[in-house]
A = this chain, B = another copy of it.
Amino acid sequence: MAVDECYYREILTSKGIKGTRQRIDVMAVLFSSAVPLTADDIYIHIRDGGGEKLSLSTVYRILDTLGQKEIVAKTGLIEGGKALYEIVSGVHRHNLICIKCHKLIPLGDCPLGDFEKNLEDTTGFRISGHKFEIYGVCPDCRQIKQ
């Protein structure tokens, strides 16, 4: 995917940082994921996928750097004790998470626009964003019924 690669490199250089192989790989994984990922998820994905050389500490450093450039955001949520990261994008996504099989289903719309607007008026906060995850049991796991 040379096209994507150029795109990611362009984003990086436009923010004044180098377009390294490792940064591009991390961005590619995050951009192609519908759900937030842990640093370890990203590390495993790149190591087992492309076969590129990469260390876990580099992933952490890249996530931190991309966070400062507002390309990536730490979600503030944890999964199994690990922090979750996602691409910052105009599109607003939330997930439906199965508490049995841990499947994540991305939801299309965000129903919270009006609520936030109302909140700005009543509290004086300038609202910059929110985290919203819904938990339940997915249809498959309901059938298994254990």
Show the binding face of A for B, using Cβ within 8 Å: 76-78, 83, 96, 98-99, 105, 107, 111-112, 115-116, 119-120, 123-139, 142
Would you give 13 A-B contacts (Cβ < 8 Å), ordered by A? A96-B119, A105-B125, A111-B112, A116-B134, A123-B139, A124-B142, A125-B134, A125-B139, A127-B135, A128-B136, A129-B135, A130-B134, A132-B132
Question: Which residue on B lies nearest to A97, using beta carbons?
Answer: B76
Specify which of B78, B129, B137 is in contact with A126 (CB 8 Å cutoff): B137
Q: A76-B77, A77-B76, A78-B83 are in contact. Are A127 and B123 (CB under 8 A)?
A: no
Q: Give the distance in Å from the alpha carbon of A115 to the alpha carbon of B98 in the complex.
A: 17
Protomer copies: 2
Judging by beta carbons under 8 Å apart, are A77 and B131 in contact?
Answer: yes
Question: Which residue on B lies nearest to A142, using beta carbons?
Answer: B126
Question: In the complex, what residues of B have CB within 8 A of residue A133's CB?
Answer: 76, 130-132
Judging by beta carbons under 8 Å apart, are A128 and B123 in contact?
Answer: no
Question: In the complex, what residues of B have CB within 8 A of residue A129's CB?
Answer: 134-136
Question: Which residue on B lies nearest to A127, using beta carbons?
Answer: B136
Q: Give the distance in Å from the alpha carbon of A123 to the alpha carbon of B77 in the complex.
A: 22
- Which of A78, A125, A126, A138 has most B Cβ within 10 Å? A125
Q: Give the distance in Å from the alpha carbon of A51 to the alpha carbon of B63 in the complex.
A: 42
Question: Which residue on B lies nearest to A137, using beta carbons?
Answer: B126
Judging by beta carbons under 8 Å apart, are A135 and B128 in contact?
Answer: yes
